[in-house]
Amino acid sequence: MKHVTIKDVAKKLNCSVSTISRAFNDKYDIRKETRDLILATAKEMEYSPNPIAKSLLKQCSNQIGVVVPEFINPFFPEVIIGIQEVFFKKGYQVLIMQSNESFDNEMENVKAMENNMVDGLILSLSFETQNVEYYENLIKQGFPIVLFNRVSNKLNTHKVVFDDYKWAFFATEHLIYQGYKNIIHFTTSHSLSFSQNRIKGFINAHKKHKLKIDEGSIIEAGLLISDGEREMEKLIALHKLPDAIFCVNDMCAIGAMKMLKKYGLKIPGDVALVGFTETKLAELVDPALTSVAQPTTEIGRTAALLLLEQIESKGLFVPQTVTLNGRLNVRESSVKAK
């Protein structure tokens, strides 16, 4: 339990603590032999410098904080793997917390991180977060923050995002190319920026191909399986079946799928489906779901690299928004039978 400290090593070697410190920090003003001797005996004594003391003195911790809204879905864990990969190599530790989609929790987490003197923060905003004043202040004070996925355009800092517009456009166009005419979109709360962008992509793909959309074509469903089920069931009850549905995410699409199956409707024969933000589920459900894959781990790596750059540049940096590419994985659920 008792840790061996720098003083113990100094006493053992009959020298001052500053010399030990010099040996460990590879300073120029120490003789090679002294350094080697110190390092050897320190190793033998199982001494390692106490990072807490170092943090206190240096006013930074070699830790970076990550706050995500949840990690039940595989998306955020995969991003975190990318983040850790980068920081692990650089000798940073990664502190992870989840806000559980609550603004209050998010603030608590961020403040805890701050108190812990993390050197920077990687953040994905919760569902509830509207008020970003606190982050604005942090950024203004020069605190390094990188946002990803759930960002706010009020915040002027590095961001890693996905081109939701473009890929929603492609996904919709894919359905159009397959020959579907009557396509609808299950979206989620309009307050989320990504849902606005996906809607825009959906609409513009229609415009490009001179297909018209009526007001019933965009339905606010939600992100959960139950949301997809509910809205699908409504449509079935109303006998207003579309040819195809572009869903805001895989969960929603899978909900729709379950309901279609329940009523004996064929996919894609009666209704074709496309998801978004692909998860493992996409290729496991039957029929396999066409979906847009995001480069999750890559997102993490990119965010980490941007944060590192920001930390090392000591305030002098130009906020940058990196948009990563995705991929439309076409599977059975959307391919029209000949």
Partner DNA sequence: AACGTTTCCGAAAACGTTTCCGAAAAAATA
Partner DNA sequence: TATTTTTTCGGAAACGTTTTCGGAAACGTT
Query: Residues interacting with DNA, by CB under 7 A?
Result: 3, 5-7, 14-22, 24-25, 27, 29-32, 34, 47-50, 53-54, 56-59
For the bound state, the minimum distance from the C-beta of residue 305 to its own copies, rounded and expressed in Å, comes to 20
Positive or negative, the CA dihedral 62, 65, 66, 71 is: positive
From 316, 338, 310, 303, select the one nearest 84 (Cα to Cα): 303
For its own copies, what does the binding mask look like between residues 267 and 296, x meaning CB under 8 A?
Answer: -------------xx--xxx----------
CA 46 to chain centre: 38
Positive or negative, the CA dihedral 175, 176, 177, 181 is: positive
Residue whose structure tokens are 């825009």: 200
Residues 238-257 that bind its own copies (CB under 8 A): 254
Q: Which is nearer to its own copies, 48 or 321 (CB)?
A: 48
From 63, 64, 80, select the one nearest 121 (Cα to Cα): 64
For the bound state, the minimum distance from the C-beta of residue 110 to DNA, rounded and expressed in Å, comes to 18
Q: Please tell me whether residue 55 binds its own copies under the rule CB under 8 A.
A: yes
Q: Please tell me whether residue 45 binds its own copies under the rule CB under 8 A.
A: no
Q: Which does 166 bind (CB under 5 to 8 A by kind): DNA, its own copies, none?
A: none
Q: Does residue 276 sit in helix, strand or coil? A: coil
Q: Does residue 146 sit in helix, strand or coil? A: strand
Positive or negative, the CA dihedral 13, 19, 22, 27 is: negative
Tokens of residue 77, six digits = 């864990």
For the bound state, the minimum distance from the C-beta of residue 107 to its own copies, rounded and expressed in Å, comes to 13
Binding site for its own copies (CB under 8 A): 1, 48, 50-53, 55-56, 61, 71-72, 74, 77-78, 80-81, 84, 93-98, 100, 112, 115-117, 141-143, 225, 254, 258, 261, 280-281, 284-286
